[in-house]
Structure formats: C-alpha cells, structure tokens
Amino acid sequence: MNKSSEQSEAFTPVRYEIDITTEEARLGTKKILSRQGKKLEVSIPAGVKTGGTMKLANALQVTDGHPGDILIQVKVKEEKIAERVIEVNNDNFEDEVLKCSLPVAVDFWAPWCGPCRMIAPITEKLAEEYEGRLKLCKLNMDENPQTASKYQVRSIPQILFFKDGEVVDEITGLVPESVLRSKTELILQKQ
C-alpha cells in the first residue's frame, strides 16, 4: 500500500446519525456519542433541521488515535400525537374538519406552548372516550398560520368546536378536564 492511499484512509470521515426530539431541535441539546469505548459530548445547536450535518473536526484522534473527522447527521423525530387525535393542516382542514359528519374539536397548539402540552393528554383521553361520536384534531399554529388566522386564534391552547362546518363553541386556555368534558357533552347533546 502506498503512502497516499494510507493518508486518504486515515482521513476518511466516520458517519453517525443522532435522533433528537422536535423540542431538542428547537432549543438545542447535548448528546453523548460513544466510539471505541470513549465518549464525546456533541452540542447540537438550536434550530437544527432533519438532515443537518455536524462535523467534529479531528475527533477520531480522540476516539481511535488517528486523524479524521466524525460527521453526524441529525434526525429530528416527529412527536406522535395519539392515534385517535388527527393532525390537521391548511391542506386537509376542509376535508377533516369542515366536511366531517361528526362534531369536531380542533385543538390549536404549538410545540413551544407549555399549557398546550398540558392539555394534550386530556384531548387524547377524550378522543378515545368519544370515538365515533366526536372527532378530535390538532392543528400546529406555527406550521399552519393561515387556518389559525382565518379562525382568529390568537391565544393557545384554543379548542374550537365545529358542527356542520361551522364553529359552534370554543375554549381558550388551559382548563380542567371537567370543563372540556362538560363542553363536549353539551355539543353532543345538541345533535
């Protein structure tokens, strides 16, 4: 093997993939990468997107004892909403909400909203309990500002109740489960 071939092998970067949550992507995070029994702390900057690549320059010197970079591809894991809660957006809102034969509750939310995350388990529970009688949906306002603007949603969480394509009631802010349940029951009784 000649010298130039040995040099190119020594500098071939090693590739890794790191999974992070959408919240970690938004705020930035630190992850530990293990290689050859050694640990490297990787700082992932705020705002990173899926497919973003980070380069740890000459990191193989630390882990493997020879020159070379480590390339890390970031994969942002989408957080799953409960299966019974339908994620709606600007494109499918009319079909999923306005044309639905059932009453529909749409939870307008955003990933950065703490109260939105607190009300999510309640809406997931109600989606299961009222399955077949009420359709529960979520709309991420950051990704779908046109629909949020059309319905004048300015504070979140905000749940709009639709019946026959029209808004018939709403709840704004973090409310106890009993309030959300009572409002749902009233809407279902009016069928």
Residue 135's CB: how many other CB atoms inside 10 A? 22
**Within 13 Å of residue 82, how many CA atoms lie on the same side as its CB?**
20
Q: Given 25, 42, 70, 113, which residue is catalytic?
A: 113
The tens digit of pLDDT for each residue in 178-188 reads 999 999 999 89
Known catalytic membership, residue 100: no
Query: What is the chain's length?
Result: 191
Phi-psi region of 105 (alpha: psi -120 to 50; beta: other; left: phi over 0): beta
The reply to whether the predicted model has a pTM over 0.75 is no
Residue 17 φ/ψ, nearest 5 degrees = -125, 135
CA distance 133 to 116: 23
Known catalytic membership, residue 137: no
Tokens linked to 170: 């709403």
**Across 159-170, average pLDDT:** 95
The tens digit of pLDDT for each residue in 39-89 reads 888 888 888 888 888 888 888 888 888 888 999 998 887 655 456 898 999
Could you tell me the CA-to-CA distances from 128 to 106, 123, 125, 173, 176 in Å, in that order?
15, 9, 5, 22, 17
In the chain the domains, ranked by start, together with CATH numbers, are 3-77 (2.60.260.20), 85-189 (3.40.30.10)
Q: Given 74, 116, 134, 187, which residue is catalytic?
A: 116
Residue 152, pLDDT > 60, answer yes
With residue 21 as reference, give the H or E element that holds it. strand 14-21
